[in-house]
Structures are given as structure tokens and as C-alpha cells.
Structure 1
Amino acid sequence: MHLTAHSFVRDFCRDNFPTALRRVVLGFFLFLPILLWQPASDAQTPVANQAGTIQQPLTLQGHYSSVTMGALSPKGDQAITTSTDQTARLWDLATGRQLRQYDGHTGPIFCLALSKNGRLLATGAQDNTIRLWDVPQSSPIIKIPAHTSAALALSISSDNRNLISADADGNVRLIEISQIASADPATLATLKNPTEPTTRRGHAGSVTHTAWRNDGVLFATADSTGQIMLWSPFLTSRQGSLGQHVGGVTGISFSPNNQQLISTGKDGSIRTWQLPVTETQNLPSTKSPIAQICVPVNQNIGLVASADGWLRQFDLVSGTVTKEFPKLPAGITAAALQPSRGMFAVGNHSGTVDLIDFGDGKKIASFSIGKGPVVDLVFHPDNQRIACVGSDATVTQWLLSSIVSPNENATPEPEQTWPQAGSKAVTLCYSNDGSQLFAGTSDGNILQWKTSDRSLVNTFKGHSDAVAELAVTANNQLLASVGADGVLNLWQIADGHRLHSIEHPGAINSVSIRSDGQRAATASSDGVVRVWELATGALLQTFGTADTAAVQTRWLSDGKRLITGTNDGRLSIDKAAIIRSIQVSDTAIDGMTTLNSGAQVATFGSDRGVTITDINTGKAIRQLDPLPAQTTGIAARHDNQRLAIGTVNGSVAIYNPGSGQLMQTIPGVPDSQSPITCLAYSPDHKLLAVVDQQHRLRFYGPAAPGQSVEPGQELFLHQQTQSSAPITSLKFTADSRGVWAAQADGQLALWAYASPIQLRQLNHSGSVYSLAFTQDGNTLVSSSADQSIRIWDPQTGQQRFQLRGHTGGVLALALSPDDSLLVSSGEDKTLRLWDVTGGRQLKQLASLNEAMYSVAVHPNGQSLAAAGADRAIHRYDLLTGSPAEKLTGHSDYIHSLTFDATGNRLLSYGYAGQLKLWKTSDGSLILEQQVGKIGNDAKFSQDGSAVLLSNGDATARWFKLPEQAK
């Protein structure tokens, strides 16, 4: 880094001048650029010489006083300049447009340093302070072509290690980003991921939402069909699936304790799911249609009867066959398990019922109910009776003792027979106390009989086709019926009132009620098992696919799992992970965010404002009305103290979700009514990122120092930039300094955020003259009029070393290429060499007749150049201090020296506006040019083809060198 134009003032106003006179002269000099100012076309006219003519430079105008120093971004597309007007400014070198202004210093800024990755800016000024700033990017610092179709959703793991993105084709990509997050932006374009992105497939529709669990070992994805899937970043196979929100999922979020997942959908509901969720467990196939599944209470076993006569017992934990009973040659049409589990009954095509010992599988007894197949049979709850119905539709009840131990030479007879009353019974069900028998008929009716006297109590009419199966709740209050008409009906047994009538896509073959009476499961011909909430009739969850019909489903004793059989003999066990479902609205929920550790959910839809719902009680806590316009997006601050709501007219409303108070309304872009499409808060609670339909990305944050603040105003526009494609989702990085954006062109873009508010302040006891960053950005070196050099940790603000040795102000600094050595120049007219790591002076390199205002170390680390008040350039050996050569030709003080990246050229720039380019091998002059007035600082572009100049006429200039000078 180099000394600015104020070197002249400091040299001119020596201590032998009276203080008052020094102030007068200094004040005159600060305003001199304004007095000398000319129109840009005149001020920047280059003077041709034998080496060629410099192209017309781009003028960066905006400072109102001398531009003291400049720096280029790593990509060379932006410049940062400092000025005696006490500001630093960021410029777009393609257009000359000012992108940002950094305010905070209370004195002229003499120096700046930019970290190699372009993210951290340090400025030093006459107010004795060093200030650190974020530097923005006007375009993404990296783009990853992640998808071939639109990228719709993304999420970042809490450790900032992995990113997941999803697209419109149903694909999910897992990308390892830890190296990207810490990489130098200058090398990001060529950086390869340490591992290739992996793809997760399985969704049948567009994947619209993604979320990471807080521990980073599980993530969830949700699609437009309503399906939610769970994945591990370490495994490619799916770890579980949930569904189904009818119409699609509109939001998912893990609870802070990692135990639940919350989802919202187009069906207007909020659902809470218990984790972990297991994938479907497939049991060995019976290879023939399932006739019946019997599940004993409080045992992890199941008895499965196949139509071809096989009977098998399964362990429902391991999924293995633990017992295989002798095959029944007549086939099986119906089966039932005695409540005491002493025996089970099997009906066949010939109308015979076999009673079989559950323990050893031996036949106990048989009896015939008539010609034709046994249609259905069921044991009485008292373990003493069994009811049967055959193809003739006659319902009979048999006393087991009369069958197992019949009188000698006597044929067993039914204990009771029920008349058909004009309809044929096809399915039977006892009440849990055995006092009533229900029979579903082929014409869609349900007959309710008393078992004591066979009297008909009621006829439930509601199905338009045959009733397939019946189930009664444990308290005997409700009856569920399903049928070929695809309808699930729920009845009050006491009066026959129908509470719910729910239609399915296809015929329903089976219904099972959980032991607590709160949920029912149905198996349908479309192959899907559905779980219903009996109190509301709401669909809670679905399992299975539509490739084969689900014949029967049964709840297991734990009340969490269901075993299902299909007509092609397949058996599966699924876990019903749903905890609760809250019906927020009869219309679609369009978006959601969680609050207060997942205890509350804020949702919005097209026909209303924002509703905050308590997950535990299911009650709406608060409605945020009236909103400035229809809600289009929502985001909660991580501390739950603010809720940002984007609207269709482009404005953003900021609420306190606890009180419902509107805190601030941020208007949309002037002359634009572009709807907000997505919003995101930063993890540190300070920033809000907003995207609108015109692809504008805006960052809002706290007020800058000195900025006027109106009452109630919390957020101010910090940065606005334009995306080349629509942005569909935003996620801040863990350090709040970057934002990943999913784009409609299939790319993932990482945008840098910068704040106009300083990050940190470091203090000297005198004006700060020079700054330098080490290449890794972890060390900042400064020099000052207080005669010291200080070495800082820019992340913490801690001073590591204070180096003393100069007997006057330290004017300029330069680091060696490996950052191990430091060269300084002081008002005491000496050059000194320092050990950066050890924090000590190594030697005095040279003593000169005049002060050197700028020093530069050659890229080979073996030599240095210094220039200043004697109008000459001095070359020295870096380690020994031996003089090498002296270059002359400047007519005034030299304020800036810099080598190009190759070390083949040396650029010098002086107070008179003289720019000279030298060949370092022999000291010959390549280019001489008069550019601007009061030359303060010069910088090469990274490729050495252009130069950034800072001038005392309140401008900076950017232009390309002629071919002869490259």
C-alpha cells in the first residue's frame, strides 16, 4: 500500500511550521482539487508520446474531493476508491456507475486495503481509525449448473457443509459446498467440488420445498403431488416417505428438537409428523391374492390367509415367516382369529368352516354353513361363538362348544339365524360388547341386529353399491363402512346419523379402526392405503402405489403401523407418522413458516391474510390484518421477533408476531408493482433478502451511521442487484454473508452480501497512512502518524503486535509475496524490514535524503522499489538493502509505485499527474503519459492490461493500456 497525495501536505507542513499555519495550508490543499476542477473531457485528455496513445479512460465521478487511493476487485470488474471527502465508494467498471458508498470516517481517508477474496475492505483515515467493511458483488460470485430444468427449492445444512436443491422434474441434488463457502472468489469459477453432486430420485412431481434437520443428518423434500420424502446426505436410498397433502405441499420445516416435521398443503391443513419415519417394510409375498389378515392384540405377529389355501404366520418386526400351516386344498375365502387366540376359523369355497388350533396348526373341528363359498365370518367377543354368512346370504351364529364337542351322532346347528329383509349380507361385524351384530349387504345397506333376540334395530342407508367391510370403535359409539362405490361412511351407532361421507378414487376393499378410536385406515382398489381422522373426516396420510389393488389393511397393536395385503399377494408394513392435522382453511395454504421453536406456524393463502396457529391446540392465535395487499411470501426472523410478509404490490410488511403489531411497511421499487416472490432472514437476525417478479434481489438491514431514521423504521435498503433469471428460493449462508439462490434456469447462484455499516473499528493514536492484508485475509497490517506499525486480527479486532522503530510517521507499507516480511517507509527517511509472524524489526534497509511515499515488493520477493519526495525511484535488494538502480524522470513527487503481476513492469504515478511505465529488467521507459491532475495512486488490473488511477481532481480513471505498453 502507498501514501496518498497528503504526503505532500505532511512533508510541506513540517513541525517547524506553526500549528495554525499548518492547518491553513492543509485546509487550502484539501479544497485545491475543487479549485482546479475542469470538465471530465478536458481533465482526462491523454497526451500522446512515442509509445502510443492511451484509450479514452472511463471516469468514475462521485467524490467531491481528492481521490486518494483505489483498489480492484479480484475479478477486475469493480473498483473501490477512497477520498478526502471521508467516504469510500464502490464502482462498476463496465458502466462507471457507483454501487455503494461507505460512510463513517470523520476525517480524510488516506489508504485502503482489500482482502484477496474481495469480501473485506479496510480503510484508514486522519481520524486515527481503521474501519472494516463488507464489499458487495453486483453479480453472483459463483454459479453451479445444478439442474436441466427450473431449480425450485434449496436448503443449506446448519454446518454450511451441504446444499440441497430441487427441480421441476422431481430431481433432488446434494452438493458439498464447504470448500465453496470458504474459497477465494477469484478462484471460484474454476473450483471443482470435492465430491460430485449426487441425485436423489423418487418424486412423481415437481419438488417445491426442501428442509434440513438441525443436526444435518436428515433432509426432507416435498413435491406438487403432496408427497414428502426423507433422505440422508450419506445414503442415496430414501429413508422414509410421508403423504399426502391433496393438491401439493406448500411448506415443510423440522422442529428444533429434531423429533417432528411440520408441513402445510394446498388442502388447507397443517400436519405434524413424528420422526423417525421408516420406509415401507416388504414381507415375503404369498404369490396369490390375500384373503384375510388377522393381527392378535399386543403381539408382533400376524396371520395371513391366501386364496390358494396357504396360512402363514409372520413376525411383524423382522418381517420373516415364523410358521407355515398345512395348506388347505379347498382354498380360503374368509378367515377370523378368536379373541383369546386359542383358535382361528377358515372358510372355503365349499361352504365349510375349519377351526384350527393357533398353537400347533392342527384342525380342531369343521362345520358346514351351506352350499357355496363362505363369504365372511367373525368371532363373537365372548370367545364362545362365531357368526358366518355364505353365498345364500343367510347369517348364522354358532356356539363353538356345539362344534368342538358335539353330542354323539348330532349334527351341529346354528344357535341363531337372521332373516335377510330383502338384501344379501356380504360382510359381518360384532359390536365390542357382543350385544349387536352388523351386516353389510350387496345393495349398499347395513343391518343392525340385537344378538339377544335377533331383532332389527336399524338399517343404515348410504352406499350405492355393495358394502365391503365394517369396523366399530372400541367404545361402540361409531361404525365405519366402506364399499364398492368408493365411499367411507362414518355412522353414529345410537341413532344411525351419518357423520362423514368421504369419496375415494376407486372401490374400497377394507377398513380398520385404530384401538383408540381416533383414526381409520382404508385399503382401496387404486392400491393406496389412506389414514383418516374420524373426528373431522380429514385425510392424514397415504401409503402405497396405484400398480395393484390393496385388498385389506389392519392396524397393529402399537397403533402406529399398518399391515396391508394386495390382490397379487404382496404384504407390506407402513408407519403412520402423523401426529396431528389442523384444518386451517377450506382453501389452499400457499406458504408457511414456523415460529417459537415450531410451536406455532404462520400460514397464508390467496383469500386471506396471515394466520398464526398453535400446533398443540390447533387453534388460531392471531390473524395479521389488514395487510397492504395480498400475501405472496413469508419469512420469520430466527429469533421469532419479526415476521416479513411480501405482497402482490411489491411491498413488504414487517410484523411483531407476538403482538400482531405492524412494525414497518417497506414500499416496493418506485414505479413498479412487481410482486414479491420469496424472502429470507439471515441467521444473525440483521438482514432481510427480498426477491420480486422482475428478478431484483434486494438486501435490507440496519441504518448506517448518521442515516436519518423515522419513527418505527427498522430496515433500510443496503443493496439492490439484478438476477439474469427468476429466483425461486433464497437461503442465507450460516455466516449471514452470502445468499444462495435457486434460479429458474436450473442454476444455483451464490450472491455476496455487503453492509454499508462498518463491521469493526481499530484505533491508532494518529492518522492512519497505509494498510495491507495478507493473502489469506487473516492478518491486517497498518501504519500511522503515531510512528507505529500494528498487526491486527481483522476477524476479532485484536491487536497482535505493535512495531516501533521509526522516529517519524510511517508513510507506506508493502508485504512480501509470501506475507512473511514487511517493508516500511517513514518520515524519518528510512526503509525498514520487519518479521510479520514474529512481530519484530529485522533491519534498517536504507537511509535516504528524502521521505519515500510509496514502496513496492517485486513478485519474486527478492527486491523492492521506493519513491517519494526526491522524484526518483530507488531499487534495493530486499534482504540486504543493497541499492540496485535509480530511475529518474518525474518532475514532481512520486506518490505511487506498483509492479504488475509478472514483475516485468513497474508503474509510477506522481503529484503532477505524470504516469510512467518502466521495464524492470533494464529500467527503460515503456510509456510516459500525463493523466489527470494530482496523481495520488495507481493500480494494475489483474491481467496487467488496464490501470486504475486516483486523482486529486475528485475523480478516478479506468482505462486500458495501449498494446505497446502491455
Structure 2
Amino acid sequence: MLWTLDGKIARDFINAHDGELHSVAFSPNGKFILTAGGYNSIKIWDLTGTEYREYLLQENTIKSATFSPACSNDSTGGHFILSTFYDGIVTFSNLDGRVLWQVGSASLARFDPQGKFIITDGPSGQIRVWDWKGKLQRAFPINGDEIDFLEVSKSGRLVFTFDSQKGARVLDLTTGKKMSYNWGGKPYKTVAFTPDEKYVLTGTRNYMAQLRDFAGKLLMNFAGKANAWNTIDLSPDGRLIAVDSRETAIWDLQAGKILDIRYPSDYPSPITFSPDGQWLLMRGGSIIEDSYSNRRRLLYNTRALLWNWRNDSLQILPEGMSKLITGVFSADGRFLLTCGAQDRVAYIWDRQSDKIEQLTWDGSEIPFHCPAEFSRDGKHLLLASSGYVTLFRSDGRQISKESPKPSEIAFSHDSQSFLSSGPSFGTLTRRFNQITLTERYDLYPSFGNITRFNLDGDTLARYTHENVFINTLAFSPDDQLVLAGCSDGIARLWAAKGTPLLEYKGHTSTVTWAKFFPDGQHILTASADQTIKIWDTHTGQERATLILLDSTDWVVTTPSGLFDASPGAMRLLYFVVGLEVIELEQLKERYYEPGLLAKVMGFSDEPLREVDGFDSVALYPVVRLQLDTQQNLLRIRLSPRDGGVGKVSVFINNKEIKEEANPLKFRGFQKIRDTAMTIDLTPFARYFLADSLNVITVRAYNEAGWLKSAPHSVEYRLPA
């Protein structure tokens, strides 16, 4: 697909190849698109989606392809194609599809961005440099294993490589110097050199980005979230949110921040608060000191444990309950149920008598996703297997079985009914163990169907929304409302009798978790878009969005633009209005609200400030630059927006040469500013570097003078 910058689909290249698409690229002039996919097919398209050419270059599956850059070897760029194939062949071909040369024993290839040469890997981890005619210029033995990743800096001087045996290296092609070090052995997905080529930013397959110098020293760590927010729970008093983000972190809604205590993990873990809110049931393992991340880390396994987050103490669950994928407490905290990951067995632990019983029933095995819930009165247990929802007494005796192919379940607060999402059903009654079971069989596909049953298996109500999957279910505290988190990014609310009431819209991906706050006035949702949102139950209005950058840094925002953030997150923030990126400091005074979350939730006596939303921000004009190198003139064009036209500042190599390039002028009795101006660069020749590329930068202000644009730059080299 071809997208515009505002997120709209401009062209859809349907069935571009017969098979998987492996690579896409723009031509240097931006007029053509290259796609590589299927078995061995390369296609060139224009921007209207019309196929221009197709090539079949090899008999093996193509891996990647790209256009040549604009350079001395190709004046306008895009006249040649560099391709790699899974059989270890690299080809260099023209636009007629003719292979000009090829090399073997290579699976990775890059053009030097300056267009001087081509770089490939080689046998035994070699780095090889070729000219455009296919002649080998130099070969650098790395003395390692097969290279898994290769990237070239913008100047073409440095090459980053990674292999599973030797780790990461940076090779200087001008000197042949190799800087070898092990950066943790994590497979790299992407790498970028900083513009000054002093540092390298790496992105790995463990949701981590890291900035390092060439000695391998870690300068900054950007830890991403490992998965969607479905490993989350709300404490019984509604004041704490526990979230697993590589570490289990606890968000204090009253304090409006993440507590300075956390438990390490390597993979997402199911987490559940105990009824008293002091313990978290979670998956654990062995803690080690990790020199790679300079912090304690959990060696992943499925062992279940209880973590007392108040005093940072641990209690390992008894043998037999160790393989945790799902766990729930009874309302009084006495009973604890866990479902295992490998043996697919459920256990009930009586914490008072320390007795453990294995749960057995007539039905299919427990699925990997194992919804389970105790009734509030402690008399019943609801468990979803891969075939049925089964109702047990708390002593483990099966008493009823409902709803084939369930996906989610929830008990009412009065313990007299429960919800099950799944197909719509016909009815079949049979006898089992002297108990009459009412089973339901599938009538039509299980999209958006929720059924409410009483404890005898009778249907009380149905809640339906077509063409969505139900990911999570909840009753309101008074049992008068039913909440569902859906696959289309919307949480939906029904009256208990089945009448649709509200839709909570704001997430950009599937809603994975949803729950009412204890007072019923707010709803908490989590999504695969990696945000957590708080909503007004009765109006459907979003109150706040919680963003967890890692287990330490966080951001809270409101729809009006108010925000609060941790000090670490504050350094990473900026505003976006439409497609405009605005520095944080320019709008911080207007929108920064310390203690925002506590004010939103009513834990603070301070009122929430009312501010104009982002749609009222008085934006600066659009800036367009044109450089006339023959006459040394810089032409500036301004297109006013709602903020009008203010002053214009001009810089050469970061030195301000004109603070006010667009002064106020009188037109009659009215003061105005021009929307077009020309700057003669000749008087500022002393600021230009004779032997380097110079950068001329312009920033434009809104009419009020309090908001300025991002820097707009053009490059300029003095004539010889």
C-alpha cells in the first residue's frame, strides 16, 4: 500500500506478486516504486499503481531489491537494481532486466549511500567492496560466523555487522580497523548511525533500542513494551494498576505516578491482585544480575509465585501449581486457582489448609488461554476449556457445562449469573453424573455474541455486535451493565437486559482488557495499541490516556492536551498538531499539569484546568525554501495558517545571521508582514565553510510570536 503522510491510503497494490512481498523501495526521484516478491519477481510501478516493468532474475526466491542512488555513477539514480536471493546470489542489473554481473556466497548487499561502491558479505563472515562493474576492490576478513545483518553509514565510511558468534562490530572501510565487541548477542532488526557517525542506534528483536558509542558503551536505553496490554489488573480498591512491561510495575492513581518498586521479567506475565491488594499472582523464575542491561533480570519460566509488592517479598506456590498461564483468587482470598502451560491442568489451592486439589471434569483440555473466575460468594468456579464453559462448586465438583467454544467469561457480582462470549446456540439436554446439563451447540459463527446464563444454565439475555471478536467481559458493580472489549478497538456497553448503550472509541487497535472501577463511575481499558485509557462510564467520554514507556517512565494525557510525565519521559516528549512536530517547551506552560491523574480520578482537591484543545493552536505559516546558487539568493515563501505570519529567523551553520528577516511594514494604517522574501547571502560569506557542506536554516513564527516552526534547511556548497 502507498500512504499519504496524514495516514490515508493513496494506492492499494492488490496482488502485486503471487506470494509474499519481501521488499519495497522508492526510486531516488520519487516517481517510481520497486517491489520484490513472489518467487523471483521484481516489479516497477508508477505512483498511479500502473505496472511499468517486471523482471524474473533468478530461479531462486528473491530476498531484497533496491534502486541505485543518485551519484556520479548514476546521475539521476534509479537506473540499476541491486538484488539478493536466498541461494546466496547478489545481482546487479539494469532497468531492462539484464544482469550486468553477479557474485555468489553473499546474502546481504548495500549500495554505498554516496554511490561509490557496493558492499556485500562473503564467505566466513567477510565484508567485500565492489565497484559498479563488479570488480572486487577490497575484502575484509572478520573471522566470524555468517553475517546476519549489515548496514552502511551515510558517508559510506562505516559498516555495522552482526553475527551470532562474534556479536556486533563496526568496520572502518578507509582504515580497515575493526571495533569488535559483544553487545549482548541480541539479533538486530535495524541499525542507524548518528549524522556525525560517532554513535550507533540499534533496534533488536527483544523490543529494545539502544544508543552506543563504538567502544560498545551503552549511552541510552529505549525499552519498548513487549506486547499488547493484556497483562494488567486493577486493584480491588481501584487505586492501583499493575502492568507487566518487562518488569511488573504498579501505577498509583492517587499519587499519579509509578511506584518506585518493581519485579523483573523477560516475557509478559499474567498478573492478578489478591483481594486485599497486597499480593500479586504472577509468573516468576530465577533473578540474576544482568550486565547487559545493568539491572536485575528474571530468567523466564512459567513458575507461579506471589509477590508482596509492599515489602518486596516472594512466596513460591506449592509444587504442582508451578506452570502458570492463568490464576485467580476467590473473593475472600482463601482459594487460588492456577492453570498450567504445558500439562494444561487446573489446580485449586486452599491457602488456609495448604491443601491442593487437581481439577478434573468431563470436557476437553484447558486451552493455552484459560479464562477462569470464582463467584463473589465463593460457592462456584467458572472455567473455560477449549470446548465448554464449565461451572464447578468451590470444592471442585462439576455441576454444569455451557456454551461451546467460549472465549471469555465473567461472573456477576451477586453470584447468580455469568457471561460467556462465543457462538449463538441451539439447545441439547442430557444426563451426566445424575445432574442435568444444558449444552449449547453452534448455530452460526462466533462473532460478537455474548450470552448471560443463570446457574441452572438458562439463558437470561444476549448481547450481540456483528463482525467483532470479544476479548474481555465485565459486569458493573451493581450488575446493571455489561462491558465488552472488542477486536475493532472499541469497548461496548449494554444494559443488563441486552439493550446497547454506549461505545468507548479512542483506541487504535484491539481492546484486550476492560474493567469497571469499584465505584462504577469509570472504566479502565487496555489495548494492543499499548495505551491504557480511563473513560466516564455514563457519557462514554475519554478522561485520560496512560502511556507506559517502560517500567520507570510514564506519560498521562487528556483529550484537551493536558499532560503529566515522569522526568525521564519529559526529555522524550514533543507535541504533534496534525503533521506538525512542535518542541515540548513551546507549549509546556500551556498544557503541563502536575498531578494530572489524581485530578482526573478525583483523588485531588485541586480542580482540573480548562484549556483550549490542540485544534485551537495558532500555528505558524508553512515554510518553503528555494536556493539560487548562481546568484547566492535564498527565497522564502510563507503560507499563512490560523496563527498568521510573524517574524522569520535565518541561520547559517547554526549561527543566527538574521533575527528578523520579515519586519513589520505599514500598508496604509495597517501593520503587515510579507509572505515572500529574498535574502542575499553574499554579505554573510564569512559564515560559510569553504571545504564543507553548509546548512542554511529558517524558522518562522506565528503572528503572536510565541510559537515557532521546526527548522527548515537547505544545503549549500560554495562554488569552486
Higher Rg of the two aligned structures: 1
1 or 2 for the larger relative contact order (CA 8 Å, sep ≥6)? 1
Give the TM-score normalised by the residue count of structure 1: 0.32
Give the TM-score normalised by the residue count of structure 2: 0.40
